[in-house]
Amino acid sequence: SAVISQKPSRDICQRGTSLTIQCQVDSQVTMMFWYRQQPGQSLTLIATANQGSEATYESGFVIDKFPISRPNLTFSTLTVSNMSPEDSSIYLCSARGVDNSYEQYFGPGTRLTVT
């Protein structure tokens, strides 16, 4: 199994600013993902964080708005840039382990409020 931690757990930010969310996994994982969960809605995949190369973004999400880094097998960051109130959401880090590749593990989430 893999235990995922995220920092910060929550934040309140002003519009126009940027926030970087950190994701740390306690073991090596094959794939890392970032999801967004807007109030009352399901999880939407933002991108797959690739180690040592650019992230793979889903339709509707772009690198300029959500730059992602993954410098090694256990760590990734997601930045929410030039925030607006529409970016208020829970951001979830997720990973698939090398042992049980079918299961995805999730972090506790980062609750972001943009005022």
Q: State the residues that interact with another protein by CB under 8 A.
A: 4, 31, 33, 41-43, 45, 48, 92, 96, 102-109
Smallest distance, another protein to C-beta of residue 91, A:
13
* Residue 100 amino acid letter: N
Nearest to 114, CA basis, from 21, 16, 42: 16
Using the minimum distance from each CB to another protein, give the nearer residue, 65 or 96.
Answer: 96
Smallest distance, another protein to C-beta of residue 53, A:
15
Using the minimum distance from each CB to another protein, give the nearer residue, 2 or 83.
Answer: 2
Smallest distance, another protein to C-beta of residue 17, A:
27
Q: Which two tokens stand for residue 38?
A: 């807007």
Using the minimum distance from each CB to another protein, give the nearer residue, 14 or 53.
Answer: 53
